[in-house]
Amino acid sequence: MRNRVLASFGVLVAVVAAGLVVPVAGQAPKKYTAPKTPWGDPDLQGVWNDATSTPLQRPGNVGDKGVLSDEEAEEFQKSLEHDLTRDRRDGGNAADVNRAYNEHWMDARRLKITADRRTSLIVDPVDGRIPPLVAPSPERRRAQAARADGAARFAAGLPGDFTDMSWPVRCVVRTDVPPYLPTIYNNNFQIFQSPGYVTIAPEMIHSARIIPVDGRPHLNQNLRQWLGDTRGHWEGSTLVVETRNFKSEEGVLLQGANPATFTITERFTRVASDAINYEFTLADPMTWTKPWTALIPWNKVDPGEQMFEYACHEDNFDMVHFLTGARLREKNGETAGQRPARSEER
C-alpha cells in the first residue's frame, strides 16, 4: 500500500517535471495523434531502439545546463563520441586490448546524443542527477558488501565461483530488467499488441514482458520474479506500466535498490510515427531520498532491420574461461591486486 502511494507520488513528480521544467524529447510542433489498434488502444507496435550517448546523469563539464544550444550540443556530441568509441588507439596497451572488442560489435546509434540536446536522460530532479542514497540497513549493507566482494574478485581475474559473476555475465537477466537503459548493443525492443495486452520483447535476453492492460490485480506480494510483475493501463494515449514483486537477489536492480520496496512506473507515449517517449520513475524509500525520473527516446528501426534471437547462456563459454583462468592464476601464485582491474568500459 505504501509502495503504491509512493509510486503514485513518483508519477506525479514526473508529470510535473516533464511538463514544467524540461522540454520533452521529440515534442512535435503540432500535436501528434497515434494510430489506434482495431480494438481501440494506441498503437505502439514495431521495433524500437533506445541507443544514445546522452548519459543517464548530467556530467560535470556542462555545469547546470539541462538543454544545450546547437553549438554546445555539437561539442557535447563530439566529446561523448570520442570517449565512447572503441576504434581509437590512444590509451596505451591495456586500453587497446580492451578496445579490441571494437565498434564492429557495437551499436553505432549509441554514439549520438538525443535529438532534444539534453545533457542527461534524467529529467527529475532538475539537476539531472540520481538523488542521494539513503543509508542502507545493516542487513542490506552486508548483502551489498558480499556482492561487491564477488565483483572485485571477478574484476581482478580471480573469481572463486560462478556466484562471483554478475547476473548479466551469468545470463540470468540482462537489459530485460526495467528500467530499460541504453547499452553497447542489442538496444532493440519489439512491441506487440493484442486485445488486453501490450507485450515488449527486449532483444537481450529474449524474454517477453507480457503486460495485461485489462485492470486485473497484481500477483500477490509473495510471488516474486526476476523481471517483477507488471500491470499496465492507458492514460490518454500513454501506456502506464507499474512493476513490483522483484526477486530478492542482490545486484539485479539499478544501484542495488532494495527489491522489497522498489517500484518502477514506466510511461510509453508515441510522439511521432517513428518515435516513442519512454519515461520511467523509480521509487524506493530504502535506497533513494526521493523518486527520480528519466526520459529516453525510442526510435523506430528501419523495417529491414529485424529483431534476432539473443541466446546467452547456451554458449556462455566465458563462464568456464573465467573460472579455469582463475584456477590457473591461483596455481601460479597470483593474488588479487597483481593484475590491472578489468575495464568497466565494456
Partner 1 sequence: MQLRRMIGCLGVTGVIVLLSLAVPPLFGQQRAPVGPQFPSAYRPPRAADGHPDLNGIWQAFVTANWDLQDHEAQPGPHPELTGAYGAGPAGQSIVEGGEIPYKAEALARKQANFENRLRVDVSNDKTWHAFGDPEMKCYMPGVPRATYMPFPFHIVQGTGPYILMAYEFTSATRIIRMDWKQAAPTDSWMGWSRGRWDGDTLVIDVTGQREETWFDRAGDFHSDALHVVERYTPVSPYHMMYEATIEDPKVFTRPWKISFPLYRRMEKNVQLLEFKCVPFTEELLFGTFRKQTAR
Choices 53-61, 133-141, 205-213, 259-267 (CB under 8 A): range interacting with partner 1: 205-213
Nearer to partner 1, 1 or 223 (CB): 223
* 336 forms part of the interface with partner 1 (CB under 8 A): no
Which 3 state secondary structure label does DSSP give 212? strand
Q: Which one-letter DSSP state was computed for residue 297?
A: E
H runs (alpha helix) in the chain:
2-16, 70-84, 92-98, 138-155, 318-331
Count of residues that bind partner 1 according to CB under 8 A? 50
Contact between 190 and partner 1 by CB under 8 A: the answer reads yes
* Helix/strand number for the chain, H first, E second: 5, 10
One of 172, 184, 260, 286 touching partner 1 (CB under 8 A): 172
146 touches partner 1 by CB under 8 A: no
Q: Are 122 and 57 a contacting pair, CB within 8 Å?
A: yes
Please enumerate in sequence order all residues whose Cβ is within 8 A of that of 64, keeping only pairs 6 or more positions apart, or say none. Answer: 58, 127
Does the footprint of partner 1 cover residue 324 (CB under 8 A)? yes
Spatial separation of the C-alpha atoms in residues 3 and 291, rounded to whole Å: 12
According to DSSP, the residues that pair with 124 across neighbouring strands are 293
Answer for which of 19, 38, 92, 333 binds partner 1 (CB under 8 A) is: 38
The verdict on 155 binding partner 1 (CB under 8 A) reads no
Torsion of CA 255, 258, 259, 263, to 10 degrees: -80
Residue 211 in grid coordinates: 503486460
330 binds partner 1 (CB under 8 A): yes
Q: Does 183 bind partner 1 (CB under 8 A)?
A: no
- Binding-site member from 15, 56, 201, 260 for partner 1 (CB under 8 A): 201
- Which positions lie near partner 1, rule CB under 8 A? 37-39, 43, 45-46, 160-162, 170-173, 190, 192-195, 197, 199, 201, 205-208, 210, 212, 216-217, 219, 223, 225-227, 306-309, 311, 313-315, 317, 319-320, 323-324, 326-327, 330
